[in-house]
Amino acid sequence: MSDNLPADPAPPPRPAPDSAPASDTRAAVRGGLPRRLLRNPLGAASAGVLLLLVVAVLLAPLIAPQAPDASALGAAFEGPSAAHPLGMDSAGRDILSRLLYGGRNTLGGALIALGVALALGVPTGLYAGYRAGWFDSAANWAVNLVMALPAMVVLLASRAILGPNVWVLMIVLGVLAAPSFFRLVRGIVANVRKELYVDAAKVSGLSDARIVGRHILIVVRGPVIIQVALVAGIAIGLQAGLEFLGVGSGSSATWGAMLNEAFQNIQRAPLLMLWPGLALGITNGALVLLAGALRDALEERGGPPAGGRSPRRARPAPVLEAPAEAGPRSPLLSVRGLTVVYDRPDGPPKQVVHGVDLDVAPGEIVGLVGESGSGKSQTAFSVLGILPEGGRIGSGSVTVNGRETVGLPEREHRTLRGGTIAYVPQEPMSNLDPAFTIGSQLIEPMRHVLGITRKEARTRALDLLRLVEIPSPERTMRLYPHEISGGMAQRVLIAGAMSCDPELLIADEPTTALDVVVQAEVLELLRRLQRDRGLGVLLVTHNLGVVADLCDRVAVMSAGRIVETGTAEQVVHAPRDPYTRSLLEAVLDDAPPREPWQPREARSTTV
């Protein structure tokens, strides 16, 4: 198949960070898909031609001068006339009628091949790319096998075994074309799956189906549309080729069968080749041009799928208010004896977290601090239930509000993530999907997780943007991620994290990617949210300055173990563990300032 089917088209381009001014971008994205398609002259022309062709072949019984097989041998090879505008063929049949009826078989056959290829290739590609694992390996193996088969030989063999039925041959062609869709979709999904905004969507409590529907399909649809046009063209070409070689169905009129008949009489009536040849050329050309124009129109705007369904179960949206004063503090998060292991194909499992104990009480900010690779993120991911592929909790317990979360089914963990626990990631920009506006990225998860209407979610999103002190929230809702600053992006993510009124916020190095001034503003925002709303916060950081500034208590991690816990005051000013002391010594703030630079000669004279 590899030599017959098209190579995977390149994934669609992502919006460039500073591609166009905001106003231009917004102007460009106005209008629905049909309008954007028709604004492109090539799109309008190719869509028009294809529409005309489809309408003509559908209306064949009404507009064709006669039945496709009605023949008058005396009129063989007659030229065009008023009754027969394209003339008659070698058997005295009306060429226009055969073209119209033949189009039904040719286009219908391509449609069947496409349907089979899409139905087999796209869902399996999505699943294999998103889930990876054994299914991916097995599917790749099967696909490589099918792609190694020469399409024409398989079609000829199928005809010999299954009989001269063009529809059956088109189903076989669909099976042969499915790997091209599989490989295309799988490759894109495997890349997009690693994007941080997909992780962020998981953490916000969206189900896999919703994530695929919202963040993955939008990236896949452009290339799939191009592939559809290419495969449709190939299906039409292959079918015509089989008929031309005389190994098609033989009995019914098709464009390929017309070519075959015209070729046998090429010396006598060369014009007979023209009509089916033109029909094939125009259809394939229009398909390719339409695919390109459609892709361009789709990439102009990456809005959410139109016409969202009303949510099935409505959960009252939490009110954005400060909680009532709690009684004595019982731990909101309690981690006991947590170990995290990674299975390795070529050796024993690797343990990266060794028996961690950790508590966060309501309204408390606990810093989890340690050098790079000490296991902070693995601990946080264990609480969130989003350990990377290959990682698992080896032993121990993680309770949230007294409820054990280790071993919880994914569905329940997701509910917990979307509600009680929220997550603020390290790199704000990478955690926002460049294809959607800020408003859409706040509204959609709320609609699905809280089960509220779009209007309610929009009002709530505006409230959240005000809560995180974003100026002009209405305007910000309409902007794309590349149109806002890193600090604003982090505020948007914090707003998203607060949208379900969580009790526990896990912030993983929330200020690392920001400049110092913005860092201070974001930290102040976290402090205010914690104070006003009684949030428990687990702050993952390697920055002891942030710890001293923000945290009530601190747990210091080294090589996967907690080596010291205490109040921020005690850990920063009177560390007990040598590792904590070395971490503090590595902070340059208290180091004496270096002497002003002097030229070598000056130094030698002063010494």
Ligand X SMILES: Nc1ncnc2c1ncn2[C@@H]1O[C@H](COP(=O)(O)OP(=O)(O)OP(=O)(O)O)[C@@H](O)[C@H]1O
The residue ranges that bind ligand X (CB under 6 A) are 342, 352, 370, 372-378, 388, 390-391, 542
Q: In sequence order, which residues have a C-beta less than 8 Å from that of residue 267 and are 6 or more positions away?
A: none
Quote the CA–CA distance of 215 and 195 in Å, as a whole number: 10
Nearer to ligand X, 449 or 546 (CB): 546
> How is the chain split among helix, strand and coil, in percent rounded to 5?
55, 10, 35
> Which residue, judged by CB position, is nearest to ligand X in the bound state?
377
Element (H, E) at 391: strand 391-400
Query: Using CA atoms, how far apart are residues 496 and 502, in angstroms rounded to an integer?
Result: 11
Closest CA to 419 of 312, 535, 318, 537: 318
> What does the alpha-carbon distance between residue 77 and residue 91 come to, in Å, rounded to a whole number?
8
Location of structure tokens 């027969």: 84
> Least distance to ligand X from the beta carbon of 120, Å?
32
Residue closer to ligand X by CB (options 133, 373) is: 373
CB 223, min distance to ligand X, A = 29
Least gap, CB of 235 to ligand X (angstroms) = 42
Which is closer to ligand X, CB of 372 or CB of 604?
372
Rounded Cα–Cα distance for residues 421 and 229 (Å):
45
User: Across the chain, how many H-helices and E-strands are there?
Assistant: 24, 10
Cβ at position 560, least distance to ligand X in Å: 7
As given in the structure block, the two tokens for residue 486 are 């890193």
- Cβ burial, residue 254 (10 Å; 0-12/13-18/19+): buried
Q: Rounded to the nearest whole angstrom, what is the least distance from the CB of residue 563 to ligand X in the complex?
A: 13
In angstroms, rounded to a whole number, what is the distance separating the alpha carbons of residues 258 and 274?
10
Q: What is the nearest approach in angstroms of ligand X to the Cβ of residue 135? A: 20
* Cα torsion 154, 160, 166, 168: sign: negative
Closer to ligand X by Cβ: residue 103 or 370: 370
Task: Provide, rounded to whole angstroms, the least separation between the CB of residue 421 and ligand X.
Answer: 18
- Cβ closer to ligand X: 317 or 556? 556
Smallest gap from residue 25 Cβ to ligand X (A): 34
Least distance from ligand X to the Cβ atom of residue 170, Å: 45
Nearer to ligand X, 347 or 592 (CB): 347
Burial of 585 (0-12, 13-18, 19+ CB in 10 A): exposed
b/e map of 149-160 (b: 16 or more CB within 10 Å)? bebbebbeebbe
**What is the nearest approach in angstroms of ligand X to the Cβ of residue 441?**
24
Other beta carbons less than 10 A from residue 13's beta carbon: 9
- For ligand X, which is the closer residue by CB, 39 or 354? 354
Alpha helices in 451-556 (DSSP H): 454-467, 473-477, 486-498, 516-533, 544-550
Q: What is the largest CA-CA distance in the chain?
A: 119
**3-state secondary structure (DSSP) of residue 395:** strand
- Residue 553 CA, chain-centre distance (Å), reads 39
251 in Cβ contact with 178 (< 8 Å): no
Closer to ligand X by Cβ: residue 503 or 508: 508
Nearest distance from C-beta of residue 598 to ligand X, angstroms: 38
Local structure of 357: helix, strand or coil: strand
Q: How far is the CB of 134 from ligand X (least distance, A)?
A: 18
Q: How far is CA 343 from the centre of its chain?
A: 27
Give min distance, CB of 565 to ligand X, in A: 16
Residue 40 or 382 with smaller CB distance to ligand X: 382
Which of 107/341 has CB closer to ligand X? 341
Q: Which C-beta is closer to ligand X: that of 291 or that of 555?
A: 555
Taking the complex as a whole, the smallest distance from the CB of residue 45 to ligand X amounts, in Å, to 51
Q: Which tokens sit at 287?
A: 């398909």
Residue closer to ligand X by CB (options 307, 345) is 345
User: Which is closer to ligand X, CB of 356 or CB of 443?
Assistant: 356
C-beta of 105 vs 541, nearer to ligand X: 541
Buried b (16+ CB within 10 A) or exposed e, 220-245: bbbbbbbbbbbbbbbbbbbbbbbbbe
